[in-house]
Structure 1
Amino acid sequence: MRSFVFRITCMASNAAHHATGWAAGLIAATAVAQASHTSLEHLGSILAFCAAVAGSTAPDWMEVAWWTRARRLWITHRTATHWGIGWVAVLVLSYQALGHGHLWAPLLFGFACGGLMHLLADWPNPLGVPWIWGRHSLNLWKSGRCDLIVVILAWAAACWLVRPLWAATATRVVEWLAHQAR
C-alpha cells in the first residue's frame, strides 16, 4: 500500500498523462504520415496514435509487477522505466525505420512518443526524471498541482509540430475544391 501512496503523491496525475498522451498521439500520427511512403501510411498513423496514448502511461505501469497478486512495484519508481536516453533511443531508431515499410515502426515510434511525453510531464516536479544519469528536476511545482499547465503545453507543442501537415492538407483541399468548381 505504501508504494501505491508514493506513486499517487509523486507524479503527475493519471488524467494529465492521458491528456498529454493524446497530444503525443497527434504528434506521432503526423510524423508517421510525413515519414511513411507506403500504402499503409494511414494504418501506420492510426497505430502510432494508439501506441502513443498507451505509451503516455507506460513508464508507470511498466514498474508494476502485474503477474503477482500484490501488484507491487518490481522496479523502483522513476528509475529504469523513466530513463530519458532509453526513450529517446527508441524514438530515433523507430523513426529511422518508418520509411522502410516495417509495420512495427509506427507502433514503436508512437509508444516512444507517448513515453517521452510522460517524462516531460513528470520533469517539473521535485522528484524529476533520470534523463542521462541521475535524476534531474525543473523543481517548478509538486505533482498534480499544475497539471493544466502541462496539458496546455503538450497540446501547444502538438499543434505547433503538426502545423506543416495541416497547411499541406489545407492547400490540397483548396486545390481540389478549385478543380471541382471548374
Structure 2
Amino acid sequence: MASSKAHHATGFAAGVIAAAIVAHIGGGPLHPGVLLSFIAGVAGGTAPDWLEVAWWSRARRLWITHRTLTHWGIGWLALLAVSYHALGHSVYAAPAFGFACGGLMHLLADWPNPLGVPWIAGRHSLNLWNSGRCDLIIVAASWAAAWFISAHVGLHGAYGLPWLRHLRVG
C-alpha cells in the first residue's frame, strides 16, 4: 500500500489523465465535464480506502476487510469502460470516468506491495517493496503517465513517442 500522500498525489495525476481524455472526446477544455472528471479523479485516487469505512456508524470502523471489494480490479475496469463509452452521451459519464481513473490509479499504486490487490479472483502482488516504501517511484510514474497521456490526446501525439518511428528493427 502506498502512503496516503502518495495516493493523493497519484489521484491528482489520475484527475489530469481523466480531464485530458474528457476534453479530447467531449469537445475541448471548456467542457464542464473536464473539471468534473478532474475532481472525481482526485477523489477516486483515495476512494478504495475510504469506501471501506462505515460512515453511517459512530465507530467509523471498516465495514468490509481492507483490500477486498473496494480494491477489486474488475469493478474499477468495468466502471472505466462503461463510463468511457458513455462520454458525450450522459452528464454522469465524465465524473464516473474520472472516479474510475482515480480508483485504478490507487490499485496500481497498491500493486507492488506484498499484500497486492484482487484484480480478478485472487490477490496478485508484484512483491517489489513494503508499504510506504518507494512512494516517489509510484508518484513519478503516475505523473509521467499523466504527462504522456495528456500530451498525446491534447496535442494529437506531438509529444507522445514520435521518435519511435525512427527506430529500425533488425
Work out whether the TM-score is over 0.5. Answer: yes
Report how far residue 56 of structure 1 moved.
0.5
Q: Which runs of 5+ in 1 are unaligned?
A: 1-10, 171-182
Report how far residue 84 of structure 1 moved.
0.2
Q: Label 1:133 to 1:41 Cα distance change in 2 as closer, same or farther (>3 A).
A: farther
* Maintained 8 Å contact 1:126/1:139: yes
Report Cα offsets for 1:80-131 as digits up to 9, x if no partner.
Answer: 000000000000000000022x110001000000000000000000000000
Deviates most, 158-167 or 119-128? 158-167
- Please state if 1:59 is matched with 2:33: no
Residue 6 of structure 1 is matched in structure 2 by: none
Aligned residues: 158
| Selected match of 2:2 from 9, 12, 15 | 12
| Selected match of 1:25 from 15, 22, 28 | 15
| Selected match of 2:118 from 130, 139, 156 | 130
- Please state if 1:111 is matched with 2:99: yes
Residue 155 of structure 1 is matched in structure 2 by: 143
Query: What TM-score do the two structures reach when normalised by structure 2?
Result: 0.88
Q: C-alpha distance in 1, partners of 2:102/2:60?
A: 23
Residues 76-95 of structure 1 mapped to structure 2, 5 A cutoff = 76-95=65-84
* Maintained 8 Å contact 1:32/1:41: no
Q: C-alpha distance in 2, partners of 1:126/1:16?
A: 17
Matching residue's letter, 1:31: I
Q: Label 1:86 to 1:41 Cα distance change in 2 as closer, same or farther (>3 A).
A: farther
Q: C-alpha distance in 1, partners of 2:124/2:57?
A: 31
Q: C-alpha distance in 2, partners of 1:43/1:53?
A: 16
| Selected match of 2:61 from 72, 83, 87 | 72
Report how far residue 167 of structure 1 moved.
2.5
Query: How many percent of aligned residue pairs carry the same amino acid?
Result: 68
Point out the structure with the larger helix share.
1
Q: C-alpha distance in 2, partners of 1:112/1:118?
A: 10
Report Cα offsets for 1:7-48 as digits up to 9, x if no partner.
Answer: xxxx211100000001000000011011114x8962100000
Larger radius of gyration: 1
Q: CA RMSD in A?
A: 1.8
Q: Which runs of 5+ in 2 are unaligned?
A: 159-170
Residue 161 of structure 2 is matched in structure 1 by: none
